[in-house]
Amino acid sequence: MVETLALIGTGMIGGSIGLACKKAGHVKRIIGYDTNPESLEASKALGICDSIEYKLEDAIKEADLVVFSMPVQAIAEEILRAAKCAKEGAIFTDTGSTKAEICSLVKEKLLGMAPVYVPAHPIAGSEKNGPTAASEVLFKGKLTILCPFENTPAWALDKVASFWQAMGARIEKLSPEEHDKIFAFTSHLPHLIAYALAGLLEPRHAPFTAGGFRDTTRVAGSDPALWTEIFKANKGPLLEALKGFQEGLHKIESSLKSNDFNALQGILTKAQQFRRKVQ
């Protein structure tokens, strides 16, 4: 049970955390803070937060657990700013979809400060945004990755794991670097490909699209500014993933040019077998 939770960022992810915690009865009080007043006030009107604050320090000072749900480029700075006004023993966590850069920026600077930071990444989301898109079941059955440091106290790690599990999430642990390499392939590259494919077509092609195109490019409806920052934060691993994808495309291109349709079918069959394993 969390006495006081502070949501720093009350958009779709932060809002879903608030609703899920209330549904689970895992939090007694939720304080909201967002740099966007409209999002902040909507979170109060929608019952996501019990109270809202317009200054970060006012949202932080009484919180036992603080969740930072905002674009990845802002997380490290906000964590360090909030750490100055956090109470002793407070736990910080976040929802950023890249981890190595954030962790490298805050790890040493947080030493000796009041809060304990346990990096996290819930593998759940939507191309929609804002508190009106929040869902109390967003995390149910979904994976949340925790990326603790070598010196993360066990009690803080357990507290954060229990927090996500109360919302129905499953827990896995990875190092920040391993996390970013994996999600370059499983999340960031698919978004990049979706944007590239959607960008190939002209407006006159829209009436001729159907399920295949729409399913493949669904995530291209996500916020371009948000994803530009994610691609920037995970540039190295993403370039490696993109290199592997280009090599795969080259194999397909070569089999088509050489009329080697047995090789092409083998490539497609291997891909089909993997896809069937993905729930």
Segment 108-118, tens digit of pLDDT: 999 989 899 99
The model's confidence at residue 125, banded by pLDDT at 50, 70 and 90, is confident
Average pLDDT over residues 217-240: 95
Please give the Cα distance from 51 to 31 (Å, whole number).
Answer: 5
Q: At how many degrees (to 10) do helices 261-277 and 235-257 cross? A: 140
The position carrying tokens 């209330």 is: 22
pLDDT number for residue 189:
98
Helix ranges (H only) for 27-153 are 37-45, 56-60, 72-83, 100-106
Segment 129-143, tens digit of pLDDT: 899 999 999 999 999
Average pLDDT over residues 231-237: 97
Is the pLDDT at 279 greater than 90? The verdict is: no
pLDDT number for residue 278:
87
pLDDT number for residue 261:
98
Is the pLDDT at 126 greater than 80? The verdict is: no
Handedness of CA 25, 90, 153, 125 (dihedral sign): positive
Please give the Cα distance from 24 to 11 (Å, whole number).
Answer: 20
The token pair that represents 35 in the structure block: 């740099």
pLDDT number for residue 129:
85
pLDDT number for residue 127:
76
Segment 20-49, tens digit of pLDDT: 999 999 999 999 999 999 999 999 999 999
Task: Tell me the CA end-to-end span of the chain in Å, nearest whole number.
Answer: 31
What single DSSP character describes residue 88? T
Give the burial class of 262: count Cβ atoms within 10 A of its Cβ; 0-12 exposed, 13-18 middle, 19 or more buried.
exposed
Q: Which domains, ranges and CATH numbers included, belong to the chain? A: 2-174 (3.40.50.720), 178-277 (1.10.3660.10)
- The mean pLDDT of the chain is 96
Model-wide pTM > 0.85: yes
Average pLDDT over residues 93-98: 97
Picking from 227, 274, 258, 5, the residue whose alpha carbon sits closest to that of residue 125 is: 227
- DSSP per-residue string spanning 151-210: T--HHHHHHHHHHHHHTT-EEEE--HHHHHHHHIIIIIHHHHHHHHHHHHS-GGGGGG--
The model's confidence at residue 2, banded by pLDDT at 50, 70 and 90, is very high
What single DSSP character describes residue 268? H
Q: Which amino acid is at 233?
A: A
Residue pair 31/4 in contact by the 8 Å Cβ criterion: yes
The token pair that represents 12 in the structure block: 């779709």
Picking from 73, 235, 51, 65, the residue whose alpha carbon sits closest to that of residue 157 is: 65
